[in-house]
Structure 1
Amino acid sequence: MLYEPILTSRSEAGWDIPLLVWRAGAPLLAVGSAPLGGGLGVRRWVLNATVPMTYDRDDPAAHLAELAHDLDLVGPGVGLLTGVDVAEVVRRTDAGVQVWATVGLGTPVWAAAPGPAAPAVPAPAHRVGTVNIVAYVPVRLGDAALVNAVATATEAKAQAIWELGLTATGTATDAVTVLCPADGEPAPYGGPRSAWGAPLARAVHAAVRDGGAGTVVPWSDRRAG
């Protein structure tokens, strides 16, 4: 299983910057688009790290690996970055599926924007613009079902964003990670009307909708205030 995340922090440039750390009770199968540990494979932990809006490193996977080392996280894991204060994580559950989301919608975009991607609505450049989703499904999903589960989570995210009144499907830097047990008979489907895709969709929708309903202030702006 994937345990509830622990909120901790790291010291950087004289500031204590928050991080969320999930540990697994046993190695889990994961699929996702994270900078560190993305793709499909067995993972032992998940890290969601706040970064200042002035973040300018061009090696996010290496940076996340450094943070994981400093936290004594061993083995392969998943690492995510966001300008959102990860202490604002939203957790929702549905029929045994658990979802955690950090929601920043300051730079919404259409996925199929004509030409170079541009914000669907004007937004100051400093506003938070990343939605990170971590989901745990309590049964083994087949490889195709895992890929389908990522699509299902993304569709549910886009539905929530639309219902929040934004003419967008997400932001340009969103990431999704879906984890499940590595053992057991694989469930074959992960679509929004499947046995496990349906509660996944509902939990993601609720987390993104509720997380995006308030005003999300960039972590660096909180510090400046």
Structure 2
Amino acid sequence: MFAEPSLTHRREGGYDVPLLLWRFPEPLLAVSSAVLGGGIGPREWLINASVAMSYARPDPDTHLAELASGLGLTGPGIGLLTGVDVADVVTETDDEVRVYATVGLGAPIRAADPDAIGFGHHPGTVNIVIEVPQRFSDGALINAVATATEAKAQALAELGLSATGTATDAVCILCPLAGPPAAYGGPRSRWGAPLARAVHRAVLKGGATNLATGRSWSDRAAH
């Protein structure tokens, strides 16, 4: 049902730029905040692509569609972008829930900061991909997005950041299309509890590494 991501590259701007690719053996039900393939519905693939910290394309959905086409991907899928090197993806498993996180914390924010003005776009980004083994109802999928976000915020607090994330974070939850649906995705539900634990560990581990090194993909490319 699920598949491990493969690390591949595309040639862009004179560099071999890393990209994580999931090809699902069968379509999965997804909920996602991604700029490409966001919403709720069946999805057949997912990509998480590194970009330079100077990334400023006004059409990231078109860019991601171009990347997918270049990989021969067809049908509905999900596309994510991040300023960190996706080769540094952190994987955590808890009670059959699998989490993949690429954690960039170069531009952390507080969601309700009263002094925030406008949209400060920085592609550092925390991207979280979650696989759960049971189908979720639509309500449970949305509930699980909230659970994942709460677990991310908990990890950031434990890292010593006065932040809830970055301005460009994305989350994607994948589950089977068939079978009896789980009705709940909250942090004390059957699958929400291990989901929260796995997200927390992944963001804590990935965030600690990112804060220690402070390196983006473009930093590595320059060397």
- Segments of structure 1 that go 5 or more residues without pairing to the other structure are 119-124
- What displacement does 1:148 show? 0.3
Q: Structure 2: how far apart are the matches of 1:128 and 1:213?
A: 18
What residue number does 2:220 align with? Answer: 222
Partner of 2:10: 10
Matches within 5 A, 1:39-188: 39-117=39-117, 129-188=124-183
Deviations 1:126-159 (A, max 9, x none): 9863100000001100010000000000000000
Q: Which amino acid aligns with 1:109?
A: I
- Normalising by structure 2, report the TM-score: 0.95
Percent identity at matched positions?
Answer: 66
Runs of 4+ residues over 6 Å off in structure 1: 125-128
Number of aligned residues: 220
Aligned partner of 1:121 in structure 2 is none
Shift of 1:53: 1.5
Quote how far apart the aligned CAs of 1:216 are: 4.0
2-side partners of 1:172 and 1:126: how far apart?
Answer: 7
d(CA) in 2 for partners of 1:127 and 1:66? Answer: 21
Structure 2 unaligned blocks of 5 or more: none
Verify: 1:213 aligned to 2:208, yes or no. Answer: yes
Task: Output aligned runs, 1:26-41, within 5 Å.
Answer: 26-41=26-41
1:156-193 deviation per Cα after TM superposition (whole angstroms, max 9, x unaligned): 00000000000111011100000100000000000000
Question: Quick one: which amino acid aligns to residue 157 of structure 2?
Answer: W
TM-score (normalised: structure 1): 0.94
Note if contact 2:33-2:171 (Cα within 8 Å) is conserved in structure 1.
yes
Distance 2:29 2:121 in 1: 35
